[in-house]
Structure 1
């Protein structure tokens, strides 16, 4: 006896998964459904037990089936025709026992409505119809931009071709991957939320507290912000905090932030802005000793960069005191420390705070720590030299494979991308004799970087480092050294002649100061004004006596006696 099993499927062509750039084929079966790109690639599948809800609505390429899964959040299938609704609705009902809800979007164009937090997305409703939905998986950060304003930042893909549809990390499983499907990408949205709202607390049995009981009323924008932080898993709710560093000074962006370090990300908490940054976004990690012998700078390169409104920060620059030590115990079990981070992290740290932060970052991110090159030592035996980019002062550090200027604007220049370096003097004769500038010209016409006001003493160490790295160097200062010396001497002659000229115009003032007026007699009678009368109280008499008391070491009685024995001033009486 032969048993034959027939698998019934429903197939649809030209379907786009999660805003992918290329279409594919979607097949529904009783066990689940899958999607395969037409141009070749990995197949995305979803088991029927993972399907929670399904929704049918109008979308960009026709009609869309939005599936809410237990593990992957919201999954979008776009490109269906209107006549496909009955067919798809029937198979969802028969195979998955789920109703395919037909949702109509609000088309009024209003920008005010009501925000509702669902299981996997935030819906903005206008007259009880959704105007748009935002999956929590696409939100990277949120901040209170004002008293009644909340800013929502969206995740960005590593590149425009990455849509999250490749391999086992495809679809809604990867945060921010959907944004790669479009040429223009939405990066920020702001909600204005006035008034107050009531926050319902949970009882011990899990039921909501009624409004008549201990319901807490607070600012509506704050409640929206806190709810979104929890739903989108931003901040502390994303997992256990392994380590926390409080009130760390950041030079870029400027301010003080608390640093919370998690398993796969870290968070900066400030008074105005909060940032959640994935470890995979860290591309460079540099420890730079500041030439003041007091501070150490930790510079972190990010891609995509940190955003604050319209400003992008591709580098974080933190400043630590070298003599400040910290005593820290990692919030991590011994088993996790042994299994995941053996030889990378320690359970207890007692060292300078810059070293502890560096070690924990290195252990959690597996990133290489870059330090200044040992081939360069400045005239003052430091790793960096003081200079300026336009009006911004900072320090230029020479690394083994790059140059790094911090703090603002933080500039990273790879040595392999440098075509040539020109050393020159800019400014007047005296200024040029003390400082010089270097201009770094990049390959392929990528522009140039100019660093100015470098101490003249740093010329030889820098020039030696350039030659050691094989960088083509042009020294324009040697050509005009004779002219600058002559100009400097001329300035000195002019300065000395000016001094003589000023002395000559004063006449015999110096001689008059040393001469003695023989006609002057201290005890002779003379006409004096009223304020010099012994009975007249001047405004400065009290302060003069106080200064005399302060400067004198004698007892108060002796000072009083001296003041009594002082001869009285002679006053000329009118006849």
Structure 2
């Protein structure tokens, strides 16, 4: 081995790459290169710290730990290559090759260890699995003593050349971490206080903070362009810091932490609320954002219209000119919503949709209504309707079959204060909005007809009664009841005369309640013994 200058291995994979290349161990360092696969990987002897040999998914794996705790993994070795690698490392770098056995007990409880941006899960001091946190898109506290790490959003398209039906992929993993740990173990600060030594914090909180720091570290490899702090999000509710990078953005909240690729942003809206005080910035996502089992295809951020921001972008003039083609400026001093929408438009390459020609009865861009039990605003845009904030509903014009108005008015000229509007979609589903002010009917109907959307109106017969009419109806009802009672009493008298022919019977002399009750209307007995009305 001492007379050899290098040792080569073919058909080796680096990390999660699917293509293979040549791996070389030499006096001047370790190299890896894929034919036609871009820049090679070169590791100098000074940055090599530790070597580990372990069984992997593709044969055996050589794991190289750097001095800065970063890890490089190379798969595809054969079992007989272990001795060759061991001798080469000893001869070239005076380093030993540590052999580790994976855990095969099948237990789901153990201990975690962080190496660089990788999370190791060990059972009985043997590795069970490893998670590359650099590939994670977010982390959140799923429940009490639980921390969830998300890797892939459902519905996210598969990489080129990969059939999603033929491969398995980790979507997310949840850790249950009970108990507490000493506060001094949760941070690296030096303290001589005995109170700090005795203080304990929840173990899940420490684990969550560590995972978030690893996500931040993995994202520091790209350039942070700008950050917007404490932005109010209406859907999902909360305040988030928005960190914008070249290829993705990061939402950092108190409980949830997300990574969103710009390629997943498909729509952008900038809408003025009817109160003329707030501006809404709406972001459409595909695949949608997830919080547990809840999916959010739209994010709705709210800004105060008069708030301004003074910010510098972390970009040099060359990159502004070449990559962004002067769509961005080095310095911004303008209303916050304008700066946010401008930067999003440049980084995502998506058009920002703003309200069109529609105006409500009060001159606003939207009309107030309800969708089921949720109140919100419906924006009639140039090519679609958008209901916000929750549930955010997007209705393109080309998917509407017919719009049906109900409870608009009455045949007698009266009307209710509100009406309903139902969208019958071409797909067969229906979307209904209720409690719309009747003053909005004319402008809304004209808008739909201008957009060549079929409209139907149903006039429902409604009875609008005044107090005078109610009193008159009560009098008529009492009069009809009295009349029916008089008729019934007369019939009863006739029946009694037939059954018991008592010559001495006289209603006016009997003291009957019937005669007294209807004394003002009752007539005296006639010769034929019948009453006339």
Q: TM-score, normalised by structure 2?
A: 0.69
Equivalent positions of 1:174-213 (< 5 A) are 182-197=167-182, 198-199=184-185
Contact residue 283 and residue 301 of structure 1 kept, 8 A: yes
Per-residue deviation, residues 425-444 of structure 1 (Å, max 9, x unmatched): 279978889413231424xx
- Given the superposition, is the C-alpha separation of residues 184 and 360 from structure 1 closer, same or farther in structure 2, using an over 3 Å criterion? closer
Superposition deviation, residue 124 in structure 1: 1.6
Equivalent positions of 1:25-424 (< 5 A) are 25-30=20-25, 32-35=31-34, 42=37, 45-49=40-44, 53-67=50-64, 74=71, 76-78=73-75, 81-87=78-84, 89=86, 99-145=96-142, 148-156=145-153, 159-162=156-159, 182-197=167-182, 198-199=184-185, 217-219=199-201, 220-233=203-216, 242-246=226-230, 248-255=231-238, 257-264=239-246, 266-322=249-305, 324-330=306-312, 344-345=328-329, 347-351=331-335, 353-362=336-345, 365=348, 367-374=350-357, 376-416=358-398, 418=399, 420-424=401-405
> Rg: which structure is higher?
2
Superposition deviation, residue 309 in structure 1: 1.8
Paired with 1:412 and 1:18, the residues of 2 have a C-alpha distance of 41
Which segment drifts farther, 123-132 or 397-406?
397-406
Superposition deviation, residue 299 in structure 1: 0.8
- Given the superposition, is the C-alpha separation of residues 254 and 449 from structure 1 closer, same or farther in structure 2, using an over 3 Å criterion? farther
Paired with 2:195 and 2:371, the residues of 1 have a C-alpha distance of 61
SS of equivalent residue, structure 1 residue 112: coil
SS of equivalent residue, structure 2 residue 370: strand
Contact residue 68 and residue 74 of structure 1 kept, 8 A: yes
- Given the superposition, is the C-alpha separation of residues 305 and 434 from structure 1 closer, same or farther in structure 2, using an over 3 Å criterion? closer
Paired with 1:189 and 1:133, the residues of 2 have a C-alpha distance of 14
Superposition deviation, residue 44 in structure 1: 7.6
- Given the superposition, is the C-alpha separation of residues 355 and 117 from structure 1 closer, same or farther in structure 2, using an over 3 Å criterion? same
* Residue of structure 2 equivalent to 1:492: 464
Paired with 1:180 and 1:217, the residues of 2 have a C-alpha distance of 50
Superposition deviation, residue 286 in structure 1: 1.0
Paired with 2:415 and 2:56, the residues of 1 have a C-alpha distance of 66
* Residue of structure 1 equivalent to 2:455: 475
Superposition deviation, residue 283 in structure 1: 2.9
Superposition deviation, residue 346 in structure 1: 5.6
Per-residue deviation, residues 400-445 of structure 1 (Å, max 9, x unmatched): 34332211111223445x1523324279978889413231424xx4
- Given the superposition, is the C-alpha separation of residues 110 and 321 from structure 1 closer, same or farther in structure 2, using an over 3 Å criterion? same
- Given the superposition, is the C-alpha separation of residues 7 and 267 from structure 1 closer, same or farther in structure 2, using an over 3 Å criterion? closer
Contact residue 116 and residue 124 of structure 1 kept, 8 A: yes
Paired with 1:348 and 1:189, the residues of 2 have a C-alpha distance of 41
Paired with 2:95 and 2:430, the residues of 1 have a C-alpha distance of 62
Paired with 1:52 and 1:89, the residues of 2 have a C-alpha distance of 15
* Residue of structure 1 equivalent to 2:522: none
SS of equivalent residue, structure 1 residue 161: coil
- Given the superposition, is the C-alpha separation of residues 74 and 458 from structure 1 closer, same or farther in structure 2, using an over 3 Å criterion? farther
SS of equivalent residue, structure 1 residue 393: strand
Equivalent positions of 1:510-521 (< 5 A) are none
* Residue of structure 1 equivalent to 2:493: none
Paired with 1:432 and 1:100, the residues of 2 have a C-alpha distance of 83
Superposition deviation, residue 83 in structure 1: 4.4
Per-residue deviation, residues 183-215 of structure 1 (Å, max 9, x unmatched): 343224234142123237668xxxx77999986
Superposition deviation, residue 127 in structure 1: 1.6
5+ residue gaps, structure 1, are 1-5, 167-176, 508-575
Per-residue deviation, residues 27-50 of structure 1 (Å, max 9, x unmatched): 3335623346xxxx8468423438
Per-residue deviation, residues 99-138 of structure 1 (Å, max 9, x unmatched): 5433212222333322212123111222211222112212
- Given the superposition, is the C-alpha separation of residues 156 and 492 from structure 1 closer, same or farther in structure 2, using an over 3 Å criterion? closer
Per-residue deviation, residues 347-406 of structure 1 (Å, max 9, x unmatched): 35254x4334334544555543221223x3333332223333333232222333433221
- Given the superposition, is the C-alpha separation of residues 73 and 469 from structure 1 closer, same or farther in structure 2, using an over 3 Å criterion? farther
Which of 425, 445, 470 is matched with 1:441 structurally? Answer: 425
SS of equivalent residue, structure 2 residue 104: coil
Contact residue 52 and residue 68 of structure 1 kept, 8 A: yes
Paired with 2:192 and 2:83, the residues of 1 have a C-alpha distance of 42
Paired with 1:293 and 1:438, the residues of 2 have a C-alpha distance of 28
Paired with 1:449 and 1:357, the residues of 2 have a C-alpha distance of 34
Contact residue 369 and residue 433 of structure 2 kept, 8 A: yes
5+ residue gaps, structure 2, are 480-533
Superposition deviation, residue 327 in structure 1: 4.9
